[in-house]
Structure 1
């Protein structure tokens, strides 16, 4: 057996072990959500599967309401980040104006500031403008993130300038060039940025915990810990709530798994 064959087998075995490692918690969660409270799933007695846990969770907690808030916040954040980041990246990449390089460096310097350092100024800003405790307070801070501008600018810099020059000869302005040429050609970069923005907005916990106090506007990341804290002595109900919250994420992954893999490859290198 050649070394290449051994390496191939080794990589496949490691990948299989990693799959099993990540699937075990999911399977454990699903098994507990379908079994009555207190039943030992590894015991000698036969397992009895039931949907009572799901009925109890849906009657005790507004899980779908929390998920709806998370969907609204995540989708709105993703759309606005793609819109404003692509416009800013196009301006930095193709439009030369006084101080453009300095301004871009200032944007990049924001990546070195930890998010925790901005919590107090952000809280005071949202309070003064009357946005605290609303969905807008969850959406607007993420829109100003510099990461999207950096990723898209790097992609725009690699696009050929001949297309832009030809469009200008036809009378196209900056907005039309950005909309009709740069956005269609940058779909891989936009897909990668959109996926990671959506996941980041969905999983955000610290800022929603500070800015949201009304239960009607709570996201799933806030609602689940609050629900679990009420049932610390039980296992089935918290696991059932986690299983319900995981359904949208699993659906998004199954639908966009190719784009997610391409997005990881894109952010790790220049080519996909």
Structure 2
């Protein structure tokens, strides 16, 4: 039975990895290649000339920089605000705390598309359109991150907090020196998942930005695809360049992602 599960796991891994391998191989083929059989996809000649052409002849590097800037800012601010909100809902007694938690929980029931029009109107009234602030600020609210981090904070014994208070520690010291170190797996998983979500976000940048110098990768890639629709190599080069950061991020932080997701109880 153990061998059966191993075979199934290997087959599942193959189906997930095969498209990535195919993308990488096709991206280093020469332009205008003739494909007659399946073997032709993986046979030489190979060339990196299209990579140079795409990186030097388009704004792809600028869009990559924009995506990194937006994703990093969104990740840091979202996790920071979610951690503070989760800590307040979990450990700070205040009036209507339960009601506030249900308000945050209700945010999970509202699809993002339902609030996109009022969100756009607010951003327009605040002159946030066509700016980095407009790409970052409107997407900082994350009910999922607040709820997940609150569940972690709930697991920290109150006796530990009371002992710090007896020693003269205030709320900020408890949050920084006690709560954050103990919930590091949840913080790491939320940060990585938030980064990936921001990196792949298309709808809000599509609505809030018209200047191609501010495009993120999900917005810029379709403009390149429409220009190179008759050839396989250039689209695969663009997809490879845009996918590699996320693939590397997952490979580097795989353990933290799995540990954080499993501990938080998130179901796929």
TM-score range, shorter chain: over 0.9
Using the size of structure 1 for normalisation, the TM-score is: 0.92
Alpha-carbon shift at residue 181 of structure 1 (Å) = 0.6
Aligned to 1:53: 50
| Unmatched tracts of structure 1, length 5 or more | 1-5
Using the size of structure 2 for normalisation, the TM-score is: 0.94
User: Is 1:14–2:8 an aligned residue pair?
Assistant: yes
Alpha-carbon shift at residue 46 of structure 1 (Å) = 5.5
Alpha-carbon shift at residue 190 of structure 1 (Å) = 0.5
Asked if the contact 2:151–2:264 (Cα under 8 Å) also holds between the matched residues in 1, the reply is: no
Asked if the contact 1:192–1:266 (Cα under 8 Å) also holds between the matched residues in 2, the reply is: no
Asked if the contact 1:71–1:202 (Cα under 8 Å) also holds between the matched residues in 2, the reply is: yes
Distance 1:206 1:269, change over 3 A: closer
Aligned to 2:19: 25
Aligned to 1:215: 212
Mapped partners of 1:137, 1:158: distance in 2? 36
In the TM superposition, structure 1's runs of 4+ consecutive aligned residues that sit over 4 Å from their partners are none
The number of residue pairs the alignment matches comes to 264
Mapped partners of 1:269, 1:17: distance in 2? 25
Aligned to 1:239: 236
Aligned to 1:116: 113
Output one character per residue of 1:172-196: Cα deviation in whole Å (capped at 9) or x when no partner. Answer: 1111111111011110111111111
Distance 1:45 1:32, change over 3 A: closer
User: Is 1:77–2:77 an aligned residue pair?
Assistant: no
Aligned to 2:221: 224
For the residue of structure 2 that corresponds to 1:42, the secondary structure is helix
Alpha-carbon shift at residue 114 of structure 1 (Å) = 0.4
CA RMSD of aligned residues (A): 1.8
Aligned to 2:125: 128
Mapped partners of 1:240, 1:218: distance in 2? 18
Output one character per residue of 1:175-228: Cα deviation in whole Å (capped at 9) or x when no partner. Answer: 111111101111011111111111111111111111111111111111111110
Moved more, 56-65 or 205-214: 56-65
Aligned to 1:3: none
Aligned to 1:163: 160
